[in-house]
Structure 1
């Protein structure tokens, strides 16, 4: 997954929050959290994309850092947080990201899925893509001092 991440985020790797080592630390932390699940997409034996997430509940730091505070609709029961999704540049525009996303959510019991997106990435195209998948903006968050201000989005899991 680290190799795919490095290629996916290549233009941003010079920024502390996007460094491969920072991603590795986040992946280790997230992998130990409740409900962690990852999906990897392959073309033959070559990994081309990934997504992972975990379950979050009311009081989770994910929600605590959000402005404005999230609606009880999203915090009254666990939701799945899509923490990362990435597809190698040569595979973008092929539907791989959507298939990885949908596969990750297919077996989840949580009623909602949330994610954070940098609205500047791809000149807003990534944010617009998530909107086309049914996500809506519900606030903002800055998960760490080195991260950009992110838009928090949510949609029903199914």
Structure 2
């Protein structure tokens, strides 16, 4: 049963200026295992988000319960010079599969729900809204491999994603499972 919540979608500069609205949710969610993020991690997230908010096709979807943001998701189109596919540790994609043109692949960077709101359909609704009107061949995302992230991984698989390989996005980053889903319809209106 879906709770009585509202959703808002923000694009471009509007998405960039909305960080204060969902930062408390981010801090709460990512303090949990397997993330265990502290103040330094949150500060790095704020810096990364400012850069990501400038990416082409940037969109942010927030789920509100009254004034509180209880869940959020954001993403954008991969740029032609992306390192997304070269970050894979255990698979090397053929050049034609790794090629990006700025519209071929939409990446979901975050899809997070506060604990009290999980298993209520909020994540599925966020996923549908973030991909609504996406004109791309595929969508990709990453998920942590630890057992605590198993519910998210199972949801992604139920939504049509498959594991492509292990991603190590930057030097001090943990490992992630990179997942991909082909988008057969353009635009994707009912994921």
TM-score w.r.t. structure 1 length? 0.88
Residue 3 of structure 1 aligns with which residue?
24
CA distance 1:62–1:123, shift in 2 (3 Å): closer
Q: RMSD of the TM alignment (CA)?
A: 2.0
Aligned pairs (5 A) from 1:6-155? 6-11=27-32, 12-14=36-38, 19-67=41-89, 68-71=91-94, 72-73=96-97, 75=99, 78-122=104-148, 124-155=150-181
2:152 and 2:30 map into 1 onto residues whose CA distance is: 13
The SS at the match of 1:66 is: coil
CA contact (8 A) 2:142 2:176 kept: yes
Unmatched runs of 5 consecutive residues or more in structure 1 = none
Unmatched runs of 5 consecutive residues or more in structure 2 = 1-21
User: How many residue pairs get matched?
Assistant: 156
CA contact (8 A) 1:38 1:50 kept: yes
Q: Which has the larger radius of gyration?
A: 2
The SS at the match of 2:74 is: strand
2:39 and 2:68 map into 1 onto residues whose CA distance is: 27
TM-score w.r.t. structure 2 length? 0.74
Following TM superposition, where does structure 1 have runs of at least 4 consecutive aligned residues deviating by more than 6 angstroms? none
CA contact (8 A) 1:42 1:48 kept: yes
